Amino acid sequence: MNLKFLGDGILNKPSNKVDITQIKKTSFIENLEILRKHLHMHNGSGIAAPQIGWDMKVILLGIDANYTYDTNTIGKFCLKTFGDTILELRYWLNPEIIFTSDEQVYCWEGCLSIPNKYGWIKRPETVIVKGWDENGIQLTKTYSGITSRLVQHEIDHINGQLFVDRVACDKFIVPDEAFDDPNFIFPSKGTCQTKFGELSPIE
């Protein structure tokens, strides 16, 4: 399984629901491990099954305390976003958002499947997610702040949406090098004032 990029059809369609009675099968367990290896290989903090061509509603979130992240583009984003925070690795099977807060915030988002570009995206500040873990245990968890942003981004993937589908317009998609260019003109007040991993109440 290889990482899929913008333009691959599997990224633009809803994934198949996981049959929880089948999760102990060797093939399923092997695919979970492949997903984890891709998360590490590409220095990410989240990844969804369709990003590696696996047509299932499975996502993986987390910063692994036992893994050294590279300082390439995605690794840099990951480190700037979460800093020294160790975000527990967690698989979600068939995750769905059952609550969204009225409060909406903006943040820069990147994606393994859309390298070297970032989007200025508005999302709920807090969500509650329901689903199952890799052992078939049903979970309900509240995410707020930047981790809420992460889980919403990955759930979008299994529903066939990318961050480029959520920007207000194309001017809110910028290249990676913009953040190191003091002369780059950002498209709004919020975008020029907000660093990686920060949330903004204004566009």
| Residue 41: band (very low, low, confident or very high) from pLDDT cuts 50, 70, 90 | confident
Side by side, the strands of the sheet bearing 114-124 are 104-111, 114-124, 173-175
Higher model confidence: residue 87 or residue 21?
21
In the predicted model, what is the mean pLDDT of residues 74-102?
Answer: 74
**129 φ, ψ (degrees, to nearest 5):** -115, 140
Predicted confidence (pLDDT) at residue 152 exceeds the cutoff of 60? yes
Q: Which is it for strands 58-61 and 138-144: parallel, antiparallel or unpaired?
A: unpaired
Percent of all residues in the chain with a pLDDT value above 70, rounded to a whole number:
89
- Three-state secondary structure along 64-104? CCCCCCCCCHHHHHHHHHHCCCCCCCEEEEEEEEEEECCCE
Two tokens at 192? 């020029």
Q: What are the residues whose beta carbons fall under 8 Å from the beta carbon of 70, sequence distance 6 or more?
A: 43
In the predicted model, what is the mean pLDDT of residues 31-54?
Answer: 93
154 is catalytic: yes
| Residue 45: band (very low, low, confident or very high) from pLDDT cuts 50, 70, 90 | confident
Count CA atoms closer than 13 A to 71's CA, side-chain side. 1
The winner for highest mean pLDDT among 66-75, 129-138, 141-150 is 129-138
Report pLDDT digits (tens) over 184-200: 999 999 999 888 788 99
Predicted confidence (pLDDT) at residue 114 exceeds the cutoff of 80? yes
pLDDT of residue 43: 80
| Residue 73: band (very low, low, confident or very high) from pLDDT cuts 50, 70, 90 | very low
Q: Annotated catalytic residue: which of 96, 103, 154, 203?
A: 154
Name the residue among 15, 126, 143, 50 with its Cα closest to residue 90: 143
Taking the C-alpha atoms of residue 111 and residue 59, their distance in angstroms, rounded to an integer, is 14
Domain 9-193 sits in CATH at 3.90.45.10
